């Protein structure tokens, strides 16, 4: 009995002194959670500027402060019929200013002062093409006024009083003289208006020659067809338009000037 008691004590001591068994992992135990390295915070995206709008053409009145127009010709340019009205210049100035131009009519003559704030022109009643040629040499209009645009309506008195057969050659020589003095100026040549009773054979001969003459002078010279702009009711005399007739001429000149594409609008800085 005593031996059996000693045996139980020995077994108890052996069990107490034995190292603990390694714990077995549980089947299906979750893998240890791996702490992920925090992703760096991306800087907020720089705002992409919206596309810069292309510069918008802006009409600047000062840009055209030096746009000088010389109405050149005979009594029709002067405004005969009702001189106080100012001829085609009366409406033309208003039309061009409405288009964005600031106009300075230039010339040694004045007519229509009661209707126009700018009555300057180079219209000479009764003059022929040869008279204009002589005067630009002797009086120096072109050098004095330096026009950017010349509106040339001339030849009516050549057909009435002169030898109309020479009118085309005289016109060609006049254009050469102008370009020799002012090679950068723009010259708009009118196929001249009819009379109250229409265009006769002399008118047709002269007007038909003008486009070829103009074409031979280069890009600074252009033509405007005024042969059928007026009707018989647009005259105060046989040869001179009424205010309504002059206004019709003004619209024709306006179209011809706009066709030059002179850079009416500039891009503002």
In degrees, to the nearest 5, what angle opens at C-alpha 125 toward C-alphas 121 and 130?
Answer: 90
User: What integer pLDDT is reported at residue 12 of this predicted model?
Assistant: 52
CA-based nearest residue to 211, from 200, 220, 199, 221: 221
User: What integer pLDDT is reported at residue 262 of this predicted model?
Assistant: 84
Percentage of the chain surpassing pLDDT 90?
A: 70
pLDDT score of 269 more than 60: no
pLDDT tens digits along 205-238: 999 999 999 999 999 999 999 999 999 999 999 9
pLDDT band at residue 87 under the 50/70/90 scheme: very high
CB atoms within 10 A of CB 22: 6
Rounded mean pLDDT, 3-32? 45
More confident residue, 194 or 56: 194
Task: State how far the Cα of 27 lies from the Cα of 43, in Å rounded to an integer.
Answer: 45
Task: State how far the Cα of 249 lies from the Cα of 73, in Å rounded to an integer.
Answer: 14
Rounded mean pLDDT, 227-254? 97
CB atoms within 10 A of CB 208: 12
pLDDT score of 86 more than 90: yes
Rounded mean pLDDT, 229-248? 97
pLDDT score of 42 more than 70: no
- For the chain, domain boundaries: 67-267
pLDDT score of 182 more than 60: yes
pLDDT score of 62 more than 80: no
CA-based nearest residue to 173, from 160, 158, 161: 158
DSSP string covering 224-247: EE-TTS--GGGBSSSSSB-HHHHH
For the chain, counts of helices (H) and of strands (E): 9, 9
User: What integer pLDDT is reported at residue 20 of this predicted model?
Assistant: 47
Task: State how far the Cα of 195 lies from the Cα of 28, in Å rounded to an integer.
Answer: 115
Percentage of the chain surpassing pLDDT 70?
A: 73
For residue 2, give the H/E element and its range: helix 2-17
Rounded mean pLDDT, 140-169? 95
pLDDT band at residue 163 under the 50/70/90 scheme: confident
Q: Which two tokens stand for residue 113?
A: 């002062």
Q: Which two tokens stand for residue 227?
A: 């042969």
pLDDT score of 67 more than 90: no
Give the global pTM: 0.75
Mean pLDDT, the chain, rounded, equals 81
Q: Which of 64-68, 132-136, 200-204, 239-243 has the lowest mean pLDDT?
A: 64-68
Contact 183, 221 (CB under 8 A): no
Return the CATH fold of 67-267.
Answer: Rossmann fold (3.40.50)
Rounded mean pLDDT, 109-113? 94
User: What integer pLDDT is reported at residue 5 of this predicted model?
Assistant: 46
């Amino acid at each position: 009995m005593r031996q059996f008691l000693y045996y139980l004590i020995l077994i108890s001591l052996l069990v107490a002194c034995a190292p603990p068994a390694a714990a077995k992992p549980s089947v299906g135990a979750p893998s240890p959670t791996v702490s992920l390295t925090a992703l760096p915070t991306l800087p907020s995206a720089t705002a992409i500027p919206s596309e810069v709008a292309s510069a918008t053409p802006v009409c600047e009145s000062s840009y055209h402060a030096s746009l000088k127009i010389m109405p050149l010709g005979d009594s029709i340019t002067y405004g005969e019929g009702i001189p106080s009205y100012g001829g085609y210049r009366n409406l033309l100035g208003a039309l061009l200013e409405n288009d964005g131009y600031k106009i300075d009519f230039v010339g040694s003559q004045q007519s229509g002062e009661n209707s126009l704030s700018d009555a300057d022109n180079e219209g000479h009643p009764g003059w022929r093409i040869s008279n204009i040629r002589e005067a630009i040499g002797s009086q120096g209009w072109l050098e004095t006024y330096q026009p950017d645009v010349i509106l040339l309506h001339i030849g009516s008195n050549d057909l009435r009083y002169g030898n109309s057969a020479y009118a085309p050659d005289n016109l060609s020589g006049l254009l050469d003289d102008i370009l020799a003095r002012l090679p950068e100026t723009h010259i708009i040549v009118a196929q001249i208006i009819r009379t109250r009773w229409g265009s006769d054979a002399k008118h047709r001969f002269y007007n038909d020659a003008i486009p070829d003459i103009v074409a031979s002078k280069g890009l600074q010279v252009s033509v405007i067809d005024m042969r059928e702009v007026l009707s018989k009711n647009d005259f105060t005399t046989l040869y001179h338009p009424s205010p309504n007739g002059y206004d019709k001429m003004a619209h024709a000149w306006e179209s011809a000037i706009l066709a030059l594409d002179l850079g009416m609008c500039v891009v503002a800085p």
